[in-house]
Amino acid sequence: MVLESYSPEETFAIGKQLGEKCTPGAVICLDGDLGVGKTVFVKGVAKGLGVNEPVSSPTFTIVQEYEGRLPFYHFDVYRIEEPEEMDEIGYEDYFYGNGVCLIEWASQIEECLPKQAVRMTIEKDLSKGLSYRKITMKE
């Protein structure tokens, strides 16, 4: 499935719609270049899950936990050098639990990811405008 966004507000809304549909145990893998709008999308997912506190990228802590309709675990694995580093945070408890996991830079830890994870990429296409984003989802 391919979705198009022409503004950060639309990217947020797409994320919110996804968050509203998430069920316990959902794992969403999100990739895209720096500055493409991943965190805007994540904030939308959090809102759709009923998270009311501010959501920011957990770049230095790897995972941030939030309470909403379901527990929400926001991972940013950009700084992970070896997938084995995920063992240190007990990633399996998150990935195979009853919350919703959203993993930015998921391709960094490919061998840790569950087979049922939803794969998403966000890409820019400047020929369609500075704010245009193509959001591709594969299940």
Task: Write out pLDDT tens, residues 12-49.
Answer: 999 999 999 999 999 999 999 988 889 999 999 999 99
For residue 47, the domain's CATH number is: 3.40.50.300
Verdict on whether the full-model pTM lies above 0.85:
yes
Total of domains in the chain:
1
Residues near 106 by Cβ (< 8 Å), separated by ≥ 6? 29, 30, 31, 77, 113, 117, 119
Task: Write out pLDDT tens, residues 85-132.
Answer: 899 889 999 999 999 999 999 999 999 999 999 999 999 998 998 899
Give the domain extent around 23. 2-138
